[in-house]
Amino acid sequence: MLTPAKTEFIKFMMSADVLRFGDFVTKSGRNTPYFVNTGNYKTGAQISKLGEFYAQLVKETVGEDFDAMFGPAYKGIPLATSVAGALARNYNIDKPFFFNRKEVKDHGEGGSIVGYKPKDGDRVIIIEDVITAGTAIRETMPVLHSCADVKVTDMFISVNRCEVGQNAGKTAVMEVNEEFGINVHALVTVRDIYEFLKENEDVRNSFGIDVLGAMEKYMEKYCI
């Protein structure tokens, strides 16, 4: 259901040129008519507002029931940082955050983890941008488990693309839940975006392409 809060977030993504429509290729190699690139957030106001959207979802779903949040390199780094700040600022939930380096540092303190050093038994939530085929999360879990015997309980993303993962009949989100026991929470889904465009003719006509038709074909092919 397209709620006012979801509509606000979709408009926010579009205003920041993060949600774009056209012809793109996802990390999993799929051609897609829409793309979410959180790397396009580039102002203090944008990243602050984004953190507040995520923080509200974290507060509503898990509250304070976690020990730390992890932002996978690279896009998860500013996301986790912003969410940590928004949680402390808006809800007085002051939790540590950490992220990984793609390249292991061989000088100074060394290692691949920056920020909080997780301990055995910690309950960790992941702050990410999107899940398409589950490729990124399968790269992330070994990084986390190499740090300590942590339990990853929940993952927060901007957009659930609702796409089939590695197995027919299951979305990547379903697979992540079954494979890792992680509950995935999204601010919006691809169907929310589709409904938004359907309800806003002036917006969809501004792209110069049949974005609804393209999304329908894509969703029919890849989405569940």
Residue-wise pLDDT for 47-84, tens only, equals 999 999 999 999 999 999 999 999 998 888 999 999 99
Least confident of 25-34, 89-98, 210-219: 25-34
In terms of residues, how long is the chain? Answer: 224
Nearest CA-CA partner of 17 in 37, 32, 45: 37
The Cα–Cα gap between 64 and 187 comes to: 19
Please list the active-site residues: 105, 107
Residue 91 · residue 35 · CB < 8 Å:
no
pLDDT at position 104, please?
Answer: 60
What are the tens digits of pLDDT across the range 122-171?
999 999 988 766 778 888 898 899 889 999 999 999 999 888 877 778 88
Residue 97: its H or E element? strand 97-105
> pTM higher than 0.85, yes or no?
yes
What's the burial of 191, exposed, middle or buried (CB within 10 Å: 0-12/13-18/19+)?
A: middle
User: pLDDT confidence of 106, banded at 50, 70, 90?
Assistant: low
Tokens of 215: 């999304």
Tokens 């110069």, located at residue = 208
Domains of the chain: 4-97+113-222 (3.40.50.2020)
CA distances from 96 to 43, 115, 118, 127, 132 (A): 23, 8, 10, 13, 27
